[in-house]
Amino acid sequence: MDLGKDLVAASATPLVLAILAEGDSYGYAIIKRVTELSSGHLQWTDGMLYPVLHRLERQGYVAAKWSSSENGRKRKYYRITKQGRAHLDAQRKQWQVVDGTLRGIWMKACTA
């Protein structure tokens, strides 16, 4: 199933923030986690994650830091900030409203 472009774009921010809320991470691992969580339905173009991350960094929702990984590679690690957690909470509430509304109307359609 292919998701619409706009929906993918809209869900990117809460998804990235939620993954970072689980623990600090870096680009490649975030992509892997998204694929895993959506059982492969949510396919991002890998490169597109980075502009999203940089935008979040600029908005102050995440903080980034270069450090070297276990095999000596230099990696940019991202960490969610306090502000980011607050934003994630707000996003969650908004998505719950959308989700609840859609669920309501579809339940009605099913039962009707």
Partner 1 sequence: MTAFADSPLEDQIAQWRSYLRRRQAIHGSDIEELEGHLREQLSALTEAGLASDEAFLVAVKRMGSVDALSGEFARAHSERLWKQLVIGSAASDESASAKTTNTETFVVIGLAIAAACAIKSPALFGVPLKGHEPFYARNFSLFVFPLLTIYFVWKRGWNLVHSLWLALPFAAAAVFANIFPFRPSSDTEVLTALHLPIVLWLTVGFAYVRGRWFAEDGRMNFVRFSGELVIYYVLIALGGGVLTGFTIMMFHSIGMNAALFTHDWLIPCGAMGAVIIGSWLVEAKQSVIENMAPVLTRLFTPLFTILLLAFLGTMAWTRNIIKVEREVLIGFDLLLVLVVGLVLYAASARDPQAPPDFFDRLQLLLVISALSVDGVALASIAARISEFGLTPNRVAALGENLILLVNLAWTAWLYTSFFRGRESFAVLERWQIAYLPVYSIWAALVVVLFPPLFGYI
Binding footprint of partner 1 on the chain (CB under 8 A): 26-28, 31, 45-48, 50-52, 54-55, 57-58, 63-66, 71-76
How far apart are CB 52 and partner 1 at their closest, in Å?
Answer: 7
Phi, psi of 65 (to 5 degrees): -150, 135
CA distances from 93 to 13, 34, 89, 112 (A): 14, 20, 6, 28
Closer residue to partner 1 in complex, CB, 18/63? 63
Closer residue to partner 1 in complex, CB, 38/57? 57
Q: Which two tokens stand for residue 110?
A: 């099913």
**CA 94/CA 92 separation, integer angstroms:** 5
How far apart are CB 50 and partner 1 at their closest, in Å?
Answer: 6
